[in-house]
Amino acid sequence: MRPDYPTERATINAVATKLGIGTAETLRTWVRQAQIDEGNRPGRTTDESAEQTRLLQHDVVLMDIRMPGGNGIDAARAIADALG
């Protein structure tokens, strides 16, 4: 889809609209996280974030229901299972 638009921002805006995603910023965040998870961008991977969450035992964890490579519901279940 990118060749149809002059910039990544224009592409993300168009895709967010077509998919009915609330804001283009949400989709941009997912794209950035997918790039990190694939090793194409520096940052903390989804797996590293989940492990840190498990180790730190936060009182509250907020996350998107829809995430690249998974979803918040499954991630919350995995965290709960890991904590016992």
* Buried-state track 7-33, b at ≥16 Cβ within 10 A, e below 16: eeeebbbbbbeeeeeeebeebbebbeb
**Mean model confidence pLDDT for the chain:** 83
Contact 45, 37 (CB under 8 A): yes
Mean pLDDT of 52-72: 74
In the chain, % of residues over pLDDT 90? 20
Q: What is the pLDDT of residue 40?
A: 94
Q: What are the tens digits of pLDDT across the range 4-43?
A: 899 989 999 999 898 888 889 988 988 898 999 999 999 9
pTM recorded for the entire structure: 0.60
Give yes or no for residue 2 having a pLDDT over 70.
Answer: no
